[in-house]
Amino acid sequence: MKLANSRTESCHGYFVTCFFSIVVVLIMFSYYFSSSLVNFSSSKFEFSSSSPPPVATFELQRSVQISDRQIQAVHLTASSSDGAITAVNRFRNSTTTTVIKKLSTVVLRKKHDLIMIKHGLARARASILKAASTRNLSSNIHNINDDDFVPNRAIYRNPGAFYQSYLEMERRFKVYVYREGELPITHNGPCKDIYTIEGRFISEMEHGAKRFRTSDPHRAHVYFLPFSVVWMVKYLYKPLTYDLTPLKQFVADYVRVVSTKYPFWNRTSGADHFMLACHDWGPNASQGNTQLYNTSIRVLCNANTSEGFNPQKDVSLPEIHLYGGNISPKLLSLPPSHASRPYLAFFAGGLHGPIRPILFQHWKDREDDMIKVYEYLPKDLDYYSFMIKSKFCLCPSGYEVASPRIVEAIYAECVPVILSNHYVLPFSDVLRWEAFSIQVDVSEIPRLKEVLMAVTEEKYRILKENLRFVRRHFVLNQPAKRFDVFHMILHSIWLRRLNMREMDR
């Protein structure tokens, strides 16, 4: 097993992480979760507009299991939040005259931090709910402070709620990144090729994102487990064995270390912790710890609901393919929007998974001027040139549900045609995918041409125009920029944290 990683593979070159930060071990009963001021969990938090949301949409409600020990501790403390604040004030007022045991200082400060977090979240929930119900975008727009931001109502479920939630995230959200673990498998990830988002997210979280990161774990809303499943596969997996035990073992060990060393994991059984993986085997690796699998926020490209992906707590991560670390220049300078797109639909890719065989069976190598479906694109033809000359880009699942084609199609302003089963689309809790893509049932593949021809010129024009608005949410910037893909991922995590039902006392 290699211990160091080559420079080209890391997003930020080498850096030193220090481990073994000594944390004051806190007594369990200084923590408790109690009802929020606004009992958000009992009200529905929808980003949908008036039309009923599609099935997988999101009245996010999560209950958090708390261990017996903590429930007992809650009874022991038995103080209201106001009581605790008073206690802190009384303590502060009297520091000069009274000597109070150091322990109670720590306990009170931590309790105070927890109350502040709880109140902050309650305020955020209230303001988002208010924005959601007023549905008045204009009162939000002037807060955005982003000159090139053009809100387009059509692409969001509820633009007002989304903007407010985003602003609240910027204002409050704090992530603690565990320092445990060594390079290359932790604190690093791939920064090019198909799984690039793993490395770019870890890198942004560790080296950028100052606004969202806290070095004080007591002030955090969520805790990040910064390991890379791609690097686990590279360094721990024995090729061709299909034995994923070493990956699960690594994950199990990581959780064991942080849950023994810090009080945070046990406090919520990991519900306010998250991992992120784009590798197909991300869900398998997460099986290393049952609580991580069942309770934590798993941010995954392989967001297959038939394989345990739970949209109420897990986050669907877009797959972005960066050759050599960059987007193809062809996708950066598109032809003018009125330029003609001679092909109706395009696909080129390998024969993987359950859906592509059906697509190939009906459409591969057909002498059709409008539908271009290749298993392997002939060497003299250019993939991205096809994309920008096609009206629709077919995005069938391969070995796993996600496909980098979806993001490439968005960049190419080629309306994505989603051909998948059990796939939860990225950011679908805030974005209306139907406003900028087409979903075709796998059983309709034989009729694909008919289905696409039936899209009217007017509808196509709107879909294409909306792609231009949604693009910014799928762009990887270094450093990250507001509303880009890094922030959208973070927002998805923020939303799940907001919807975590905190323990009623």
- The answer to whether the CB of 383 falls within 8 A of the CB of 397 is no
Provide, rounded to whole angstroms, the least separation between the CB of residue 94 and ligand NAG.
Answer: 8
Q: Give whichever of 171 and 422 is closer to ligand NAG, judged by the CB atom.
A: 422
Provide, rounded to whole angstroms, the least separation between the CB of residue 89 and ligand NAG.
Answer: 4
Q: Give whichever of 56 and 334 is closer to ligand NAG, judged by the CB atom.
A: 56
Provide, rounded to whole angstroms, the least separation between the CB of residue 308 and ligand NAG.
Answer: 7
Question: Is the sign of the CA dihedral 9, 15, 16, 17 positive or negative?
Answer: negative
Helices (H), 262-349: 264-268, 282-286, 290-294, 329-332
Instruction: Show Cβ contacts of residue 167 under 8 Å, excluding neighbours closer than 6 positions.
Output: 140, 143, 144
Whole-number Å distance between alpha carbons of 477 and 486:
8
Q: Give whichever of 263 and 318 is closer to ligand NAG, judged by the CB atom.
A: 263
Q: Which residue ranges make up the site for ligand NAG (CB under 6 A)?
A: 89-90, 93, 136, 138-139, 242, 244, 259-260, 263, 266, 283-284, 290-291, 294, 304, 306-307, 353-354, 397, 400-401, 422
- The answer to whether the CB of 410 falls within 8 A of the CB of 416 is yes
Provide, rounded to whole angstroms, the least separation between the CB of residue 340 and ligand NAG.
Answer: 34
Q: How many Å from the N-terminal Cα to the C-terminal Cα in the chain?
A: 48
Q: Give whichever of 151 and 353 is closer to ligand NAG, judged by the CB atom.
A: 353
Provide, rounded to whole angstroms, the least separation between the CB of residue 353 and ligand NAG.
Answer: 5
Provide, rounded to whole angstroms, the least separation between the CB of residue 93 and ligand NAG.
Answer: 4
For 38, other C-beta atoms within 10 Å of its C-beta total 17
- The answer to whether the CB of 402 falls within 8 A of the CB of 330 is no
Q: Give whichever of 168 and 400 is closer to ligand NAG, judged by the CB atom.
A: 400
- The answer to whether the CB of 444 falls within 8 A of the CB of 454 is no
Q: Give whichever of 3 and 99 is closer to ligand NAG, judged by the CB atom.
A: 99
For 251, other C-beta atoms within 10 Å of its C-beta total 24
Residue 6, burial from CB neighbour count under 10 angstroms (0-12, 13-18, 19+): exposed
Q: Give whichever of 90 and 211 is closer to ligand NAG, judged by the CB atom.
A: 90
Provide, rounded to whole angstroms, the least separation between the CB of residue 87 and ligand NAG.
Answer: 9
Q: Give whichever of 190 and 283 is closer to ligand NAG, judged by the CB atom.
A: 283
Provide, rounded to whole angstroms, the least separation between the CB of residue 142 and ligand NAG.
Answer: 8
Closest by CA position to 62, among listed 404, 389, 262, 311: 311
Whole-number Å distance between alpha carbons of 476 and 387:
20
